[in-house]
A and B are shown apart, each in its own frame.
Chain A
């Protein structure tokens, strides 16, 4: 047993557990076949799909202030 624990100590020293990126992408290839968007949507309980607030473009209305106009006979008062 001495020998065994010595070996596991050594292996930890030489062969420690290393961090890898794989674990952060679980299911991407196995479940979603590499479709990133689909995987992303499912792993986050659905993503917001509608685009940002779409403003209907307001067309500024033409405007005349009647008192600022030079009176013309054809104008309705």
Chain B
């Protein structure tokens, strides 16, 4: 992976990675640029996340997206770019959990060590990113919104929030913004056109009512953050298109189908010809029901491109879905795989064709994902804090750091220490304080497991690894809003 990236001259750059984030005020978007070379999607995501202050814990909600053909890339996708090619991709939140903001009984959350220590699905950095992403989708009409009276009022409400937010960020009054920027520029482009088509009097009435309300609303005590939060909450209820992906497939017994995938509902389908009618969506499967997924070439003659995705389920049944192209099949499978890791097992992949390279690395070294220190200590306690036992885990803060956490006895009491392993840009691993470098985590561990090490005055060995358990509950896993009425089980 080439790393001399963002500062190289723009003229030489062929890969542009767009972020809904800006380091300087005013700009809407930042672009990271890369010269010709090979780039793995997952590595690009980590660089983008670092540029937006998004920590490893939340990075699993993101993926790369190409707007041109509405295609998501799997984390192991390799962009191979020479002088003559160019690519524009967006760093976007792909995995979304409705009601993440709620404090009520039906809310989505991350499991905690104990009941009461659950944590939110998103932090403020991710929330602000989501705001910029969804605002972009809303204004540019990327999500089709109904033209009912109800939806139009919701859109005007969103415009009020957005105009007030703009004013706060620029230290102006909302009326100042109203007078310099048309309120219509805060609305989806379809609605702008609809208003444009109304007669003069109606347009004037809409504008007048909007202005009157902006005036009243400016008396509110609020902050830009709360306005953004309300914007997101309203958008979630406005249209599930903001967080639902659809795919067109052939299913053996049903013919052409449209698949809909979202966190709370799993994989649903409807018949293509009835898509816009009020037909009920059928559930095909939920993420925890899946055991593995495979992709193979469709055997049909003529359709050289098409791929059959087979989803094997826990009940022994399987589903066969035919996609028109391989990229579409990979996009679908990586979506299911990602949701599986966020809802069911954080250390498992369903299909090796889309498996994130860092996850494969972590799984083969019996390493945990970026769990918190509390989880690591809790797990060691459950294992009796025995001498020689250790947990290997990714750092929750730094994509290129790992920790070895282990119990030691100091003056008769158990303490936990955390030794750091760093991964260099060239992929070499070094245990901080040790001299040698290794090409993999496994090699590093198999070397030092035979050694005696010392920290301060304590002498010990890393002899027995405490690996992640299948489907273990931790802060890497989400409890979904439609499941959270159940009592959250404490991780064991």
Contact = CB atoms under 8 A, between A and B. Distances in A.
Contacts of B124: 51-52
A24 B153 contact: yes
B234 A19 contact: no
Main secondary structure of the interface of A (DSSP, over half): loop
Contact of B434 (A15, A21, A22, A63): A63
A58 to B, nearest CB: 4
Contacts, number: 161
Interface in B86-108: 100-104, 107
Nearest to A68: B435
B361 interface: no
Contacts of B234: 24
Main secondary structure of the interface of B (DSSP, over half): mixed
Nearest to A60: B420
A66 to B, nearest CB: 5
B157 interface: yes
Contact of B209 (A20, A25, A36): A20
Contacts of A58: 373, 403, 405, 418
A61 B418 contact: yes
B454 A64 contact: yes
A53 B475 contact: yes
A53 B219 CA distance: 33
Contact of A60 (B122, B432, B435): B432
B453 A64 contact: yes
Interface in B357-393: 372-374
B463 interface: no
Interface string A2-13: 000000000000
Given A20-B206, A55-B397, 19 more contacts: A17-B149, A18-B205, A18-B206, A18-B209, A19-B155, A21-B209, A29-B219, A34-B220, A36-B227, A36-B230, A48-B107, A48-B120, A50-B119, A50-B120, A55-B373, A55-B396, A58-B373, A66-B453, A66-B454
Given A36-B220, A50-B120, A61 B226 contact: no
A25 B230 CA distance: 11
